[in-house]
A and B are shown apart, each in its own frame.
Chain A
């Protein structure tokens, strides 16, 4: 089975993240980049499926040179090879352009299964799996908390507000996973050493056959008009429980008309 896992490098969620004043784009210099946490679950699921059914896991990442750190991490977890789409003209791509670029590369690499995290921790749009499936014309089986494959048939548990839906389709398909699905492995020392020798194919837009006019900031279908730091919340009232903390909390709720 040919599994491609889409991986995004994002700023560390623990660091102070901001936009650049000049162009309202993500300030990648302000925070360390690392692999999008939810994508680690997708990588893990890809590795488990290959362990069970055979095949190989290819990592696909679109991003600047620095994204090679995340690609190496994915390879050190056990993925077999990687494709890195990197081109200055991609900078500022919105979700539509990102899905266009990734779909173009996916058609080129071929796939039985495309796996990705349900969202990235920076943009948090949660639209990419849907967009890729729409562009590729293959089933979207997303928000999976469980994936089962039997021949060409794929069954997932799709997470819902009330529990889950059992959803079935046929391969090839695009699958997004939620955090509940598994526990991603840590790269072993052996894995880290092996990753250094694994093939990483670097593609430019020209290599991938993508028209630069269709991606990047110039092609963006949305724009940021303005941004500002959230005004700090006014300091609240903090009381120490002296045996009447619950009563005081109820008084507060009553003054705020919640009770």
Chain B
């Protein structure tokens, strides 16, 4: 059976959820073969096998993880030459998309980014990607017509489904080019390390906007997010004002999220914001202005003062959880 390469997102021991989603999608087109860069493949192997990885290619050379982007593209390109896969799937994170871009130049293959679903073509010509463009206003179906399709898939495209497979470890030798080594990551600085799930991966996201009114008030948003086990996001108005760190911005110039549930608190819903969250499955809105355009997207909306509604909601969730 033809292989589908899946580039793993991991933290050195455990696999991120998006990788399990990619393995689930990959099974629609062939036999998933995970690609693991850096140490920790032994620890991640079981989980990869549980979700269908027949093979795990492991590139664990010295310094592989000391250089951003280029090493992954080099490893994937050499595997592509060796294993002749039918497609390469990568998580559509900012770095994942850069890897996809470099790989496309190396192989001359077409690249699609930000797929929210991946389905077999009716004529068997390979994967068809569904994308949501222009702030979610238009749904596009595209395909790659040159080379081995490279598709960057957004987190939460599918629910991961187990399908046990061997997850046989296959070491690959990775000789990094001088070019790849010329860019060095010398320090990793965690500004907001918390127990919350990562914003782009989270199944539930609670975001605050202008209505939140200040840095301290974001504690309300965080408490609500924590009660739901979700991530915290912010509108551009809130990050521009310095109330919440920029990397949590959801929108046109920030992160794009596609969670199961998106809760927008004190956010009016300008296109700038909608572009980053419109593909959420369920949307809940809390805003005092009944005319706010965000209500057009709401599956459920509360017109009211967020400083009253949000604490009550958080409390009620806790009460229901406890009972």
Q: Interface on A for B, CB 8 Å cutoff?
A: 13-14, 16-19, 24, 37-38, 94-96, 99, 118, 121-131, 133-135, 137, 139-143, 145, 157-170, 178-180, 220-230, 233-234, 236-241, 243-250, 252-254, 256, 258-259
Contact = CB atoms under 8 A, between A and B. Distances in A.
A167 B309 contact: no
Nearest to A222: B110
Interface stretch (B27-35, B40-48, B156-164, B298-306): B298-306
The 3 closest A-B pairs by CB, nearest first: A241-B304, A246-B312, A127-B101
A33 B14 CA distance: 45
B102 A130 contact: yes
Interface string B132-145: 11111111111111
Interface stretch (B52-60, B168-176, B196-204, B210-218): B196-204
B308 A241 contact: yes
Interface residues of chain B: helix, strand, loop or mixed (majority): mixed
A139 B183 contact: yes
A82 to B, nearest CB: 24
A168 B181 CA distance: 10
Interface in B249-307: 249, 252-254, 256, 260-261, 271-272, 275, 278, 282-284, 286, 290, 295-305
A221 B162 CA distance: 33
A249 B286 contact: yes
Given A131-B101, A221-B109, A245-B304, A168 B298 contact: no
B187 A233 contact: no
A45 B68 CA distance: 22
A18 B137 CA distance: 8
B70 interface: yes
B261 A125 contact: no
B1 to A, nearest CB: 25
A17 B102 contact: no
23 contacts: A125-B101, A126-B97, A130-B98, A130-B101, A145-B246, A162-B193, A163-B247, A165-B185, A167-B68, A167-B184, A169-B182, A178-B246, A221-B145, A222-B146, A224-B142, A225-B143, A230-B138, A236-B298, A238-B300, A238-B303, A245-B309, A246-B310, A259-B320
B136 A14 contact: no
B271 A233 contact: no
Contact of B68 (A18, A158, A229): A158
B134 A246 contact: no
Contacts of A221: 104, 108-111, 144-147
A227 B246 contact: no
